[in-house]
Amino acid sequence: MKRIPSVRERNIVLIGFMGVGKTSVGEQLAKRLFRDFIDVDQEIEKTWKMKISDIFRLKGEEAFRKIEREMTIDYCTNTSLKVISLGGGAYMQDAIRTACLDHCIVIYLDLSWSLWKERLNVLIDNRPVLQDKKVEEMEQLFTKRQPTYQKNSFQVETDGREVAEIVSYLEEVIKLGWEIYGS
């Protein structure tokens, strides 16, 4: 059985739907906390030397989900003191979710559907999951995933807030948590 890291050492994992800002928030949060930042999707791209959209196209979604599961669980359980950003669908996998909740502090970046929809144009090109979907189908996927994202350590509402503001808020809450529960 793997050792569960202390509260202060525990990896901080960012979850949420595609394009809510997990990478931007994660990079800045990691700097504030003097930690390394890991974007699991970028690590998968480096490992397979391919863009995520090409992995979906050439190897299929199932192969992507398998490497996503292996790499995410590895980072979440075999490292510490990191800030880790997950792909938007990763947390839907039971094994990933369990590993994250057991070993890490899981933060959900919550964005409303109406504001997410405004970002669609910039997201769609390199998000294979959105390709060939009508907006109503995207909304269904968005809504279907919400209850699973709710299984978190804590969540932050991002509507109308700049990245810097979200990062400052998270830094404050995390440090407070370390003070209260840290050892």
CA–CA gap between residue 121 and residue 16 (Å, rounded): 18
Q: Is 24 marked within a binding site? A: yes
Question: Which of 12, 18, 71, 111 is close enough to bind ligand S3P by CB under 6 A?
Answer: 18
Residue number with CB closer to ligand S3P (82 or 127): 127
CB 175 within 8 A of CB 128: no
Q: Is 175 marked within a binding site? A: no
CA atoms within 13 A on the CB side of 89: 16
Residues 79-118, mask of contacts with ligand S3P (x by CB under 6 A): --------xxx-----------------------------
Question: Closest approach of Cβ 176 to ligand S3P, in Å?
Answer: 27
Residue number with CB closer to ligand S3P (12 or 89): 89
129 near ligand S3P, rule: CB under 6 A: yes
29-88 residues near ligand S3P, rule: CB under 6 A: 41, 52, 87-88
CB 11 within 8 A of CB 104: yes
Residue number with CB closer to ligand S3P (8 or 155): 155
Q: Is 102 marked within a binding site? A: no
Amino acid letter, residue 135 = V
Amino acid letter, residue 29 = L
CA atoms within 13 A on the CB side of 165: 7
Q: Residue 111, Cβ neighbours under 10 Å: how many?
A: 20
Question: Closest approach of Cβ 128 to ligand S3P, in Å?
Answer: 5
> The tokens of 99 are what?
């590993």
CA–CA gap between residue 14 and residue 166 (Å, rounded): 12
> Binding site: which residues?
19-24, 41, 65, 88, 127, 145, 161
Residues that bind ligand S3P (CB under 6 A): 18-19, 22, 41, 52, 87-89, 127-129
